[in-house]
Amino acid sequence: MKINQALADLPAGYLFAEIAKRVKEYSANNPQADILRLGIGDVTRPLVPAVVEAMKQAADEMGTPEGFHGYGPDFGYDFLINAIIAGDYLSRGVEIAFDEVFISDGAKSDVGNLQELFGNDAKIAVTDPVYPVYVDSNAMAGRLGKYENGKWSGLTYLPCNAENGFVPPLPPQRVDVVYLCYPNNPTGTVLTREQLQKFVDWALENDALIVYDAAYKAFITDPAIPRSIFEIPGAKKCAMECCSFSKTAGFTGTRCAYTVVPKELVFSGVSLNRMWGRRQATKFNGVSYPVQRAAQAVYSPEGQRQIMENILYYQENARVIREGLTAAGIQTFGGVHAPYIWMKTPKGLSGWDFFDLLLNKAHVVGTPGEGFGPSGAGYFRLTAFNTLEKTREAVQRIIQAL
């Protein structure tokens, strides 16, 4: 059997394993240390009552002859697709057709799977630092060349740093696909309408695809910041968009997401909407009925009010981190429209040295920027997903440690 050598050669998922190892070692040697975790990328607030009630009702239905549901429609139930179109798009003046929405079990699966739409030799660009799934999933397909000195030889990196205000440059050479994620993980920054328009115009001129990951769109507080790439004129001809209930409504353990593939999206004369439908219908059997009912409840008036309370809670944590560190003279970025705060490490320390310093002196865990790509070096990510009390305590400890 010939194995997939690209997958076999993929460097091990080093970042979180290394963090866990260092924390475990430290805890073993310092059992009295009360370690506070601001490294987690997972939500912590429970599901809201409207969601729980809808899930329970649907579970009860499933136990009756009239309410039982077997395999659902390939691309999701009508009730959820219609709720998404009304709640996330029409409400912002964007028209999306019913058959352009594909319900799935996660934005992670979708961003990984959708590269089955690309040719094996398609050229890829990512912003740097980046959510590692875009890179690793393309590396598994053998599309990125060799991994040397922390970089893939065949990948185009679009550096985002304090100097360029975390606004990625347009790809300097021919690429077929650009992955954009806004609000951004890990930097927590956003792009304005004008900045996104430049990417859309570039993609249209260059016959390229934008894969837009809007997993954190619920955190956007300023109505002027686009929540969807489809708010940008021309985007339906060059972009597909992955969204998720994970961060919007705490579904990280419940699993529900959706991807929008417009019918205008045509490359080499072929509709990506048709290709994606064909792919999903073959390889995916849908999200369970109770979970789709639970996701629908996110759009009810009570659901909206309740999920906003949780988002406001995380936003307050982000504010505490951002303002606390800034007042202490630390340069921070993001954290306004996102649950992530990206900070420059003091005294030019590497992300890993700063990680060790915080662990040793403050008993606080964050994530070294190096784990998100070469341009993450010398930066550090803190997240707003702990409790408010622990977040406040962690910020005080960081300030004291510095």
Number of other CB atoms surrounding residue 83 within 10 Å:
19
Nearer to ligand PLP, 175 or 287 (CB): 287
Q: Among residues 77, 118, 131, 314, which is the contact residue for ligand PLP, using CB under 6 A?
A: 131
Told to check if 117 binds ligand PLP by CB under 6 A, we report no
d(CA 35, CA 22): 12
Q: Judged by CB under 6 A, does residue 107 bind ligand PLP?
A: yes
Return the residue of 228, 246, 306, 310 that touches ligand PLP, per CB under 6 A.
246
CB of 67 to ligand PLP, least distance (A): 27
The verdict on 315 binding ligand PLP (CB under 6 A) reads no
Segment near ligand PLP (CB under 6 A); pick from 87-95, 139-147, 171-179, 244-252: 244-252
The residue within the footprint of ligand PLP, chosen from 27, 252, 326, 396 (CB under 6 A), is 252
Q: Cβ closer to ligand PLP: 357 or 384?
A: 384
For ligand PLP, give the closer residue by CB, 188 or 324.
188
Q: Which is nearer to ligand PLP, 285 or 400 (CB)?
A: 285
Q: How far is the CB of 195 from ligand PLP (least distance, A)?
A: 18
State which residue, 242 or 330, has the beta carbon closest to ligand PLP. Answer: 242
Binding track over 157-186 against ligand PLP, x by CB under 6 A: ------------------------x---x-
Residue nearest to ligand PLP (CB): 106
Q: Taking the complex as a whole, how short is the minimal distance between the CB of residue 220 and ligand PLP, in angstroms?
A: 14
Q: Contact with ligand PLP (CB under 6 A): which of 115, 244, 259, 280?
A: 244
Residue 108 near ligand PLP by CB under 6 A: yes
Smallest separation, CB 370 to ligand PLP (Å): 17
- Indicate which single residue of 213, 239, 368, 371 sits in contact with ligand PLP (rule: CB under 6 A): 213
**Min separation Cβ 244 and ligand PLP, Å:** 3
The tokens for 40 are: 């987690």
Q: Does 257 bind ligand PLP (CB under 6 A)?
A: yes
Is position 273 an interface residue for ligand PLP (rule: CB under 6 A)?
Answer: no
Angstrom CA distances, 139 to 4, 5, 52, 152, stand at: 11, 10, 38, 8
Under the binding rule (CB under 6 A), the answer on residue 112 touching ligand PLP is: no
- Whether a cis peptide bond, with omega within 30° of 0, leads into 129 is yes
Distance CA 260, CA 396 (A): 42
User: Rounded CA gap, 59 and 214, in Å?
Assistant: 29
Residues of span 87-106 touching ligand PLP by CB under 6 A: 106
The residues binding ligand PLP (CB under 6 A) are: 41, 106-108, 131, 181, 185, 213, 215, 244, 246, 252, 257
